[in-house]
Structure 1
Amino acid sequence: MPGLTHFSDSFWGTGFTSSAGFDALVQRMNEGKKLSRELEDYFRQRGKLESSYSQDLMKLFKSLKMKEVVDTIEKTWNSIKAEVEKMAESHSKAASSFQKQSEEMKKFAEVQTVKKRQLEDHVKRYQQNKNNMYTKCMNNKKNYNQKCQERDTAKSVFEANRQSVTITAKELEKLRMKKEKSEEEKSKADLAYQSSLDALEHARMEWENAFQTACNEFQSLEEERIAFMREEMWKSTNIDSLTAVSVDESSETIRKVLETCQVEEDISRFIEKCKTGQERPAKIQYENYYGNVPVENNVKSHATPPANRAPQPIPSQGTRPAPPQSRAPDARIVDVEQDSMYSTIDSSDSTYSTIDSSARITPIDDNQLYHTLEMSDDTGTVVSPMSYSGMCTVVHPYVAKNASELTVTTGSKVIFVRNMANGFIQVVEEGTKKYGLIPERCVQKFEVPKQNQENPPLIDFL
């Protein structure tokens, strides 16, 4: 501890009219008052924050609906929601405590302010009186010194002229009267000076006693303020600790419930309760859109061969001559008469079709063959390969190099018609319905769809 512990021993000064010690004490009191207001404001704001947070937690709790306990994770979630309500209550209690501290701090500061104002006014009154007496005393002292000088001058002049033989009695009498008057004025000034000194000393003693009392009271108020603020800060820290302990207890409750949560157990329980089976859906098979479309006006229906009939190969029409390398192979369209005999290929009973050898083959001009989708027989009936061809997707673009070929782009759809030599195939473009040749590598691999229709097509390509 420092050597000086009392205000009454530490705030004096040698200057008679100096108020440095009193001013220092007043400044300290004002700083304490400001600090008290800041602490009061802190408690009030903390109370508002805790209250707002508590209300928000309570709103959150009310918005959460308790789940019917199914598995351990639902049980944990219900525990969290229940602990949220406890946390909201803890923060609500903290808000009330901070608000109470704010009110107590305000009352304490008001009481101290009143006491300090009274002490300040009391000391200032005696200090002002002391200063006034000092000023009056100094004026009387100045007047006294002046009168003394005048008296000494008058006496010297009178004594000098008294020895002179040339001065008249009348003039000498005037000098004597002036000397006596200066003696009288000097005595009066001396009496006033001494009286003012007595009054000044009395004022000084009163001021000293008042300031001594004020120092003791100021020290008492300051000690009380520091002790009170320290206690209130301690209380606020305890409030935070209690709130934190309450929140930690809620968190510990949640952790204990979480320890019982088992992933495998919840998964197994859900499977046993809601399982729908282990068999997966079968693969969806491709169905050709043109597989079951009948060809009208140029076909004749025939019954499907019996299922126990052995499959028969299609009769060969002879070896096709290889086309010249400089151009695409010639294409021919087979026109089938109304009375042509045929049978269909049935994949379900492994039966293959045969084509009557009486079918007539008619050569068609290349431009007519590759640049149109529609083809006619002798009767003018239109026969479209779309009724029985497979659908493909172009994966590489190709630009036609002659009139027999077809320009295609990546992603376009084409209908396969037949294989040609030199790696070319005949196709029909789905959108434009243009007919021509493209390299086989330009299309995605495909399978010719199975024929499931009752009446098979009558047209084939050589």
Structure 2
Amino acid sequence: MTGSLFKANFWNTDFLSTIGYDSIIQHLNNGRKNCKEFEDFLKERAAIEEKYGKDLLNLSRKKPCGQSEINTLKRALDVFKQQVDNVAQCHIQLAQTLREEAKRMEEFREKQKLQRKKTETIMDALHKQKITYYKKTMDAKKTYEQKCRDKDEAEQAVQRNANAANPKQQEKLFVKLATSKTAVEDSDKTYMQHINTLEKVREDWQSEHIKACEVFEAQECERINFFRNALWLHLNQLSQQCVTDDEMYEQVRKSLELCSIEKDIQYFVNQRKTGHTPPAPIMYENFYSSQRNAAPQGKTTGPNVARRGPLPVPKHLPEDPDYSLVEDYTLLYQ
């Protein structure tokens, strides 16, 4: 595990490079983004579960389902509707649970963000300080090197004019040489001071870099553990919902086991029966026979109004022109 520590693997030989630190920060940013994505996933899943629960609830409460059934099958259907209602309520509750899990993920993410901000603020300041003092040190080095070249040129000038007859010119060269030596000494001191300051800055940066690596590694371990546990818990919640659904549906299956075809048939017969005797056959009735048999035997009936009597016997011969008249009766319509 020692070889995998952040503090042992994110350095660079370039003094101004922050590639190791930037690599860690990028990884942590990706981790925070992943947490946000899972948080959004939970919220979306919660919305789906809530919609499913509410739709199932409306279906259970508003949609008829065998409402005219009777006896044991009716009781089984009542259990079915109730358990569907319970399943719907459970999914709505699961939606609320998932939103609470998403909230916990958000709080964890924000907590890590605040913790990181303290370390990042320190490191950003040290990076700027290191760059600033590095530039100052390099400028001091350039000045020092230039003063050294100036001194070397002054020494060479003195040597070239050592045998010159002009004492005033030689004196001028010696003054320039002395001045250049003083400038070299001053620039050398300044350069050394910047080197010492830069080294102090480098040591501070290096120490804080190690601390930052330890903090960031601890955060990443915590994040992976939290994310893993959150996902594990989410799956457990979904599995438990499946178990709960099945338990509720098992209640329906048990009620269906109590459903009796014979009992339901007998219950229907007892509640709705209309009689034991079927209708008698419809017999043929002769119209004329029914008329003759209408009066009881031994009694004289009055004139049969339903039938015209026999025609009277004519008193005249057929050749008689008055044949169409029978006493006062005529066949002609008046």
TM bracket, shorter-chain basis: 0.7 to 0.9
Which residue identity is paired with 2:9? S
| Structure 1 pair 282–217 and aligned structure 2 pair: CA distance change class (3 A) | farther
Which of 196, 199, 204 is the aligned partner of 2:202?
204
Which residue identity is paired with 1:97? T
Which residue identity is paired with 2:147? K
Deviations 1:286-344 (A, max 9, x none): xxxxxxxxxxxxxxxx9799xxxxxxxxxxxxxxxxxxxxxxxxxxxxxxxxx9xxxxx
Which residue identity is paired with 1:89? Q
- State the match for 1:79 in structure 2: 79
Once the two structures are superposed, the pairs formed by residues 77-156 of structure 1 within 5 Å of their partners are 77-156=77-156
Cα deviation, residue 197, structure 1: 0.7
Q: State TM-score, norm by structure 1.
A: 0.57
Moved more, 75-84 or 93-102: 93-102
What root-mean-square deviation, in Å, do the aligned CA atoms of Structure 1 and Structure 2 show? 3.1
- State the match for 1:28 in structure 2: 27
Once the two structures are superposed, the pairs formed by residues 33-432 of structure 1 within 5 Å of their partners are 33-63=32-62, 70-164=70-164, 167-263=165-261, 266-267=264-265, 269-271=267-269, 273-274=271-272
Deviations 1:120-176 (A, max 9, x none): 111111111111111111111111111111111111111121123xx3111111111
| Structure 1 pair 245–280 and aligned structure 2 pair: CA distance change class (3 A) | farther
Ranges of 4+ aligned residues in structure 1 off by more than 6 Å: 280-283, 302-305
> In 2, Cα distance between the equivalents of 1:282 and 1:29?
96
Helix, strand or coil: the match of 1:58?
helix
State how many pairs are aligned: 289
| Structure 1 pair 304–105 and aligned structure 2 pair: CA distance change class (3 A) | farther
More strand by share: 1
> In 2, Cα distance between the equivalents of 1:179 and 1:281?
152
| Structure 1 pair 278–189 and aligned structure 2 pair: CA distance change class (3 A) | farther
Same amino acid, percent of matched pairs: 30
> In 1, Cα distance between the equivalents of 2:79 and 2:181?
107
Cα deviation, residue 179, structure 1: 1.2
Which residue identity is paired with 1:234? W
| Structure 1 pair 85–157 and aligned structure 2 pair: CA distance change class (3 A) | same
Deviations 1:73-128 (A, max 9, x none): 21221110111222123223312211211221111111111111221111111111
> In 1, Cα distance between the equivalents of 2:8 and 2:77?
68
Cα deviation, residue 263, structure 1: 4.6
| Structure 1 pair 275–181 and aligned structure 2 pair: CA distance change class (3 A) | same
Cα deviation, residue 37, structure 1: 1.4
Which structure is larger by alpha-carbon Rg, 1 or 2?
A: 1
> In 2, Cα distance between the equivalents of 1:77 and 1:195?
92
Which residue identity is paired with 2:221? E
Cα deviation, residue 68, structure 1: 8.1
Asked if structure 2 preserves the Cα contact closer than 8 Å seen for 1:50 and 1:91, the reply is: yes
